[in-house]
Chains A and B, each alone.
Chain A
């Protein structure tokens, strides 16, 4: 894999991440508006609202984490001497570790 290809990989990951996140957020938006027509006192309404919202927000967070880590691995495969790949992996792992460390 050449260096320009690996540079394009992170762009492709962001592009697809953006498309998927946009589609999911669109569905989440429809669910939130639909939920306003339901009985707010019902447990299922609360689960629907919170569940859909959490999926959308977590997906947004996953876009940079996955894009950085995956592209970093590709960068390192091209040249392990190039610090950029290691730095990308480092930032991706740091962001992911925040989930565990809170």
Chain B
């Protein structure tokens, strides 16, 4: 009983972060399950994908009702991300993970600095949508392919990387980027999660309790996100990127 309550609480916190920031929550959940609760890494990663689906299923409805999801852009970008994830999963056995991790950490820190320093009057801070030009697609699609590949190799959902691409390369307003990312994360998680599930890597009993907590947390998070100022949202995201980069660098140095 106590373990289930603990998992429910962890799920709610993860869902709150996921629903507010437009991420699957793997960057919070995997370290908690693996390091703190001593779950096997495979079970932690597999469960994290189902929690990503819970965030997406719950929060997408709220973001959609607020008109903050660009369905067309999300679907087009997702093609590149899914192809990248498949390529990443295929190449994971040959690609040195720590080199990829360090490369990504450097890019993530650069994105964090850009997100932190964005001025209020810049297009990326306003909530108004602006038309996306061809050049944005030319830059965005390969970037999303690389992000998909990174996610496949590193076992992350991808929301932490999708939001900066949507804001910095596609010039989407932060709130719209978060909404579109929530939608995209669900598809990424669904692609990876079902494979883990069919291989019996998901501890269904505990994963379902976590997913229920995440679902509730994401519903609350996506419901209150409009009260958070755009600048605060961008800066929170920048902090999350720095934390993730630090984890990747520490892991690479430790190896």
Contacts and interface: CB of A to CB of B under 8 A. Distances in A.
Say whether A and B bind each other: yes
Interface of A: 7, 10-11, 14-15, 17-19, 21-22, 25-26, 28-29, 32-33, 36, 49-50, 52-54, 56-58, 60-61, 63-65, 68, 71, 83-84, 87-88, 90-91, 94-95, 98-99, 102
Contacts of A88: 75
B212 A33 contact: no
A61 to B, nearest CB: 5
Contact-residue size bin, chain B (C-beta under 8 Å from the other chain): 35 or more
B50 interface: yes
A98 to B, nearest CB: 5
Contact of A33 (B4, B75, B190, B199): B4
Given A56-B208, A102-B195, A29 B79 contact: no
5 contacts: A22-B216, A54-B204, A61-B197, A91-B82, A99-B198
Nearest to B56: A64
A94 B82 contact: yes
Contact of A64 (B57, B202, B219): B57
Interface of B: 1, 4, 8, 50, 53-54, 56-58, 60-61, 64-65, 69, 71-72, 75-76, 78-79, 82, 183, 186-187, 190-191, 193-195, 197-199, 202, 204-205, 207-209, 211-212, 215-216, 219
B53 A61 contact: yes
B190 A95 contact: yes
A45 B194 CA distance: 25
Contact of B208 (A7, A18, A19, A32): A32
A7 B67 CA distance: 11
Given A64-B190, A102-B199, A14 B64 contact: yes
A82 to B, nearest CB: 9
B194 A95 contact: yes
Contact of B215 (A10, A21, A65): A21
A91 B57 contact: no
A64 B193 CA distance: 12
Contacts of A61: 50, 53, 190, 193-194, 197
Given A25-B54, A53-B204, A88-B75, A64 B187 contact: yes
> A18, A54, A95 — which one has the most chain B CB atoms within 10 A of its CB?
A18
A38 B241 CA distance: 44
Contact of A56 (B71, B199, B211): B211
